[in-house]
Amino acid sequence: MELLRVASLSLSYKTRKGPLKAVNNVSFSIKKGETLALVGESGSGKTSTATAILRIVPRNVHEFKGIIELEGVNLMKLSEDELRRNIRWKKISMVFQGAMEALNPLMKVGDQIAEPLIIHQGYHKEEAMERVKELLRMVGLPEYVAERYPHELSGGMKQRAVISMALALQPIIVILDEPTSALDVITQANLMNLLKELKWKLGISYIFITHDLPLASELADKVAVMYAGRIVEIGPAEQIYLDPKHPYTKKLIFSVPALRMERAPMFIPGEPPNLINPPPGCPFSPRCDEKIEICEKEVPTLKEIDPEHMVACWLY
Amino acid sequence: MVVLGDEDMPGDNENIILEVKDLKMWFPVRKGLLSKPEYVKAVNNVSFSIKKGETLALVGESGSGKTTLGKTVLRLYEPSEGSIIFDGKDISHLTEKELRWFRKRAQMIYQDPYESLNPYYKVYDILDEVLISNGITDKEERSERILSVLDRVGLTPPSEYIKKYPHMLSGGQRQRVAIARAIILNPDFIVADEPVSMLDASIRAQILYLLREFRESYGITLLYITHDLATTKYFSDRIAVMYAGRLIEVGKTREILGNPFHPYTQALIEAVPDPDPQNRLKLRGTPPGEPPNLINPPPGCPFNPRCPKKLDICEKEVPELIEVSPGRKVACHLYRT
Ligand SMILES: Nc1ncnc2c1ncn2[C@@H]1O[C@H](COP(=O)(O)OP(=O)(O)OP(=O)(O)O)[C@@H](O)[C@H]1O
Ligand SMILES: Nc1ncnc2c1ncn2[C@@H]1O[C@H](COP(=O)(O)OP(=O)(O)OP(=O)(O)O)[C@@H](O)[C@H]1O
Ligand code: SF4
Ligand SMILES: [Mg+2]
Ligand SMILES: [Mg+2]
């Protein structure tokens, strides 16, 4: 059985110029222990998809619908209270984009990790501090970090602390939203090593959000490529990286300069589309050099072209 | 294509546009009012040179001193010690007035196109200001140059862009305006400080190709500051690797990437993932820890606390940057002869 099944998920925001479709009919699923990378350019709707799964949506929601099924239970049908008590942080947790910069500067790191355990889970102070030590060890931090303030830690250490918070209640899915984008390459590599080890040891599934395709290959079993709020291609990492089908995926992969392979980067001409008044037809059509007549008229839907490999493009 | 010269020959200085010798840029910091100042040794004993028309990539982790080095060679800072020779003239301690000729010939492109452009100026005025402040009084000439430079950076048709404010442009378009501003005076030398790191991957290459085109068609010399090693492979001739304020390896791009000598350069390259689905199956070998504090760097080689290959001497003596093969320099005790 699928661990998580998302079907026809849509989320739009009210804006002054009209509704903005940030997540448009998104569907995917994840098996236990499997990692899905959600990749796409800035504004393609990655964070919106993640927050929709946890039902942490901003006030200016215009429309929010779809199915989010965790182990067979549709989270959309649960009350906010049930969601808070049984799902959020316990089953699915999230490391928010920029979270390490959002740590409270006036509070010791250990207390920040312990706080939700005490307030929401009824831990005693000592119990919670024991768990904090355990969590710090798990993410490769020395115990003394508990006694430090955020500004006394390096970026890499802060990010580890933030990850330890997401692990506190032993979730089965952890959503990581650009967890390394502010870090240096070596620090980033160390953190990716940690995420791999946690995955192997604890059998966690990640939803790993990034705009960095090479980085996504460090974790992804499966890759979903987002463009203008839609998934335009999804499939096993091998197929997406080695045999991409959607013209956008191809362009995206070839726009990355490779260090070990010999492949000069190409680029994608034009600009990403406006999400308030999207172009008719395929959202990528204005920038696509393989387009055919129908592309500018009708929106292509995801079609399975190989087992587990789906593409939304009129060429297939 | 600009054909690049061979290795530096002793005495072959004609082609060198910038030469930096034993450069130090130390920033004083005071803990308390009465305490002695300490120094952030952001650039520490750096020597290198760049040939005309060449692109030298300056790479290294955050805080290693790349921006400070770039700003110091542009004389946005006055160096604490050492010398900067631009086109044969020592500019290390010239006054702002004496630097006027240099300001026209050397420009900087900043990392953040959102911050580097005045939000209250239209694109036209951003560019016009540069021309006016450099004494170009003829209005028609200025207008011509502005339209032509916008065309050259790919903002076409220019008439569509001149009336826009920075916030009306995408990140890529803004960086094009920043590039237009940097090249409008036809400089010989540009320091591009992480010019694409804020942009989406799909437009990064576009901007880097644009910079390369200027180098090829106008012979502009470029100091390309980046922490993205993969781009250096396609957009630079040589690489200088910086660690804790010092240069630790310098050489031709392909030689360094293909066969890095310094343990830090090796670690840096090893840490970069290529888009390869096999990556998820294995861990990366990386050094532990993080770069040192620049106020009190460790004695000896600044990399020694993290270095997997260190020798006894590494904790005692700072290794000098020495030439180990033609054009290739390394600062590491493992390569002492
Ligand atoms: N609360 C909101 N109100 C209105 N528009 C929003 C809101 N949050 C996000 N958006 C818009 O929705 C679109 C998708 O945003 P989202 O943050 O999900 O993208 P993303 O893929 O995570 O981008 P990035 O890589 O920059 O983080 C963007 O156009 C964004 O401007
Ligand atoms: N004006 C200044 N006064 C004091 N310290 C400074 C100043 N400018 C830079 N520094 C310090 O000098 C060191 C080098 O900084 P610099 O910005 O040159 O590094 P960088 O390699 O460009 O880093 P990044 O990749 O993060 O841009 C840092 O420790 C920084 O805090
Ligand atoms: S000098 Fe020593 S410590 Fe420094 S990099 Fe070389 S071997 Fe390592
Ligand atoms: Mg986001
Ligand atoms: Mg910098």
- In this predicted model, what pLDDT tens digit does every residue of B26-68 receive, in sequence order? 999 887 777 788 999 999 999 999 999 999 999 999 999 999 9
Chosen domain end from A120, A143, A170: A170
Best residue of A176, A186, A249 to probe chain B, by most B CBs closer than 10 Å: A186
pLDDT at B231: 94
Report residue A41 as tokens: 């350019």
Do A61 and A206 belong together in one domain?
Answer: yes
- In this predicted model, what pLDDT tens digit does every residue of A10-45 receive, in sequence order? 999 999 889 999 999 999 999 999 999 999 998 899
Do A84 and A53 belong together in one domain?
Answer: yes
Do A158 and A73 belong together in one domain?
Answer: no
- In this predicted model, what pLDDT tens digit does every residue of A89-142 receive, in sequence order? 999 999 999 898 889 999 999 999 999 899 888 899 999 999 999 999 999 999
Average pLDDT of span B240-246? 97
Residue of B nearest to A223 (CA): B277
Residue of A nearest to B205 (CA): A267
pLDDT at B153: 87
- B3 band by pLDDT with thresholds 50, 70 and 90: very low
Contact residues on chain B for A198, CB-CB shorter than 8 A:
none
Judge if the beta carbon of residue B2 lies within 6 A of ligand 2: no
How remote is the CA of residue A45 from the centroid of ligand 1, in Å?
6
Q: Find the domain containing A143 and state its range.
A: 103-170
Could you tell me the CATH number of the domain that includes residue A290? 3.40.50.300
Task: Please check whether residue A261 touches B, CB under 8 A.
Answer: yes
Best residue of B206, B210, B212, B274 to probe chain A, by most A CBs closer than 10 Å: B274
Distances (CA, A) of B198 to B82, B175, B194: 33, 10, 8
The answer for B 131-150 residues in CB contact with A (under 8 A) is none
Residue of B nearest to A250 (CA): B202
Task: Please check whether residue A201 touches B, CB under 8 A.
Answer: no
Chosen domain end from A139, A170, A201: A170
Asked whether the beta carbons of residue A261 and residue B274 sit closer than 8 angstroms, the reply is yes
> Is the residue at A251 inside a domain?
yes
Average pLDDT of span B193-204? 84
pLDDT at B7: 44
Average pLDDT of span B260-282? 95
- In this predicted model, what pLDDT tens digit does every residue of B137-178 receive, in sequence order? 999 999 999 999 998 888 888 998 999 999 888 888 888 899
How remote is the CA of residue A80 from the centroid of ligand 2, in Å?
46
Asked whether the beta carbons of residue A237 and residue B200 sit closer than 8 angstroms, the reply is no
The answer for A 204-233 residues in CB contact with B (under 8 A) is 211-221
Contact residues on chain B for A264, CB-CB shorter than 8 A:
234
Do A157 and A187 belong together in one domain?
Answer: no
Task: Please check whether residue B290 touches A, CB under 8 A.
Answer: yes
pLDDT at B13: 58
Average pLDDT of span B237-258? 97
Q: Is the pLDDT of residue A271 over 80?
A: no
How remote is the CA of residue B298 from the centroid of ligand 3, in Å?
12
pLDDT at B6: 43
Do A258 and A304 belong together in one domain?
Answer: yes
> Is the residue at A96 inside a domain?
no
Report residue A99 as tokens: 């979270």
Asked whether the beta carbons of residue B271 and residue A185 sit closer than 8 angstroms, the reply is yes
Judge if the beta carbon of residue B227 lies within 6 A of ligand 2: yes
Domain count, chain A: 2
Count how many residues are written for chain B.
337
Domain boundaries, chain B: 13-115+190-205+217-335
Task: Please check whether residue A196 touches B, CB under 8 A.
Answer: yes
Asked whether the beta carbons of residue B170 and residue A253 sit closer than 8 angstroms, the reply is no
Are A164 and A142 spatial neighbours (Cβ–Cβ below 8 Å)?
Answer: no
Distance CA B167, CA B317 (A): 51
Question: Measured from the CA of B77, which atom of ligand 2 is nearest?
Answer: 1
Do A247 and A236 belong together in one domain?
Answer: yes
- Looking at every residue in chain A, the average pLDDT score rounds to 93
Share of chain A above pLDDT 90, in %: 83
Q: Is the pLDDT of residue B306 over 50?
A: yes
pLDDT at A267: 83
Contact residues on chain A for B170, CB-CB shorter than 8 A:
271
Distance CA B316, CA B321 (A): 16
pLDDT at A296: 93
- Smallest Cα distance from B284 to chain A, Å: 7
pLDDT at B5: 42
Distance CA A133, CA A136 (A): 5
Task: Please check whether residue A106 touches B, CB under 8 A.
Answer: no
- Looking at every residue in chain B, the average pLDDT score rounds to 90
Residue of A nearest to B169 (CA): A271
Query: Closest-lying ligand to the alpha carbon of B62?
Result: 2
Distances (CA, A) of A249 to A46, A235, A254, B142: 15, 11, 8, 43
Report residue B36 as tokens: 């002695």
Ligand 2: which of B58, B68, B71 to mutate, judged by most atoms within 8 Å of the beta carbon?
A: B68
Judge if the beta carbon of residue B133 lies within 6 A of ligand 2: no
Do A182 and A279 belong together in one domain?
Answer: yes
Residue type, B188: D
Distances (CA, A) of B130 to A48, B133, B189: 41, 5, 16
Chosen domain end from A145, A170, A195: A170
Least confident stretch, A59-63, A221-225, A237-241, B165-169: B165-169
Share of chain B above pLDDT 90, in %: 72
Do A247 and A228 belong together in one domain?
Answer: yes
Q: Is the pLDDT of residue B12 over 70?
A: no
Question: Measured from the CA of B307, which atom of ligand 3 is nearest?
Answer: 8
Do A149 and A194 belong together in one domain?
Answer: no
Asked whether the beta carbons of residue B287 and residue A267 sit closer than 8 angstroms, the reply is no
Q: Which superfamily does CATH assign the domain made up of B13-115+190-205+217-335 to?
A: P-loop containing nucleotide triphosphate hydrolases (3.40.50.300)
- B4 band by pLDDT with thresholds 50, 70 and 90: very low
Distance CA A259, CA A214 (A): 10
The ipTM is 0.88
Contact residues on chain B for A218, CB-CB shorter than 8 A:
273, 279-280
Query: What sign does the dihedral A123-A127-A129-A130 (CA atoms) show?
Result: negative
Distances (CA, A) of B11 to B7, B91, B223: 12, 21, 23
B41 compared with B201, residue with greater pLDDT: B41
- In this predicted model, what pLDDT tens digit does every residue of A159-189 receive, in sequence order? 999 999 999 999 999 999 999 888 889 999 9
Residue of B nearest to A264 (CA): B234
Do A293 and A186 belong together in one domain?
Answer: yes
pLDDT at B171: 81
Asked whether the beta carbons of residue A267 and residue B170 sit closer than 8 angstroms, the reply is no
Instruction: Select from A282, A286, A287 the least CA-distant residue to A315.
Output: A282
Task: Please check whether residue A91 touches B, CB under 8 A.
Answer: no
Name the residue at shortest CA distance from atom 28 of ligand 1. A43
Q: Is the pLDDT of residue B202 over 90?
A: no
Do A233 and A179 belong together in one domain?
Answer: yes
Q: How do strand B221-226 and strand B55-59 relate by DSSP bridges?
A: parallel
Best residue of B279, B293, B307 to probe chain A, by most A CBs closer than 10 Å: B279
Do A165 and A175 belong together in one domain?
Answer: no
Q: Which secondary-structure segment (H or E) carries A198?
A: helix A185-202
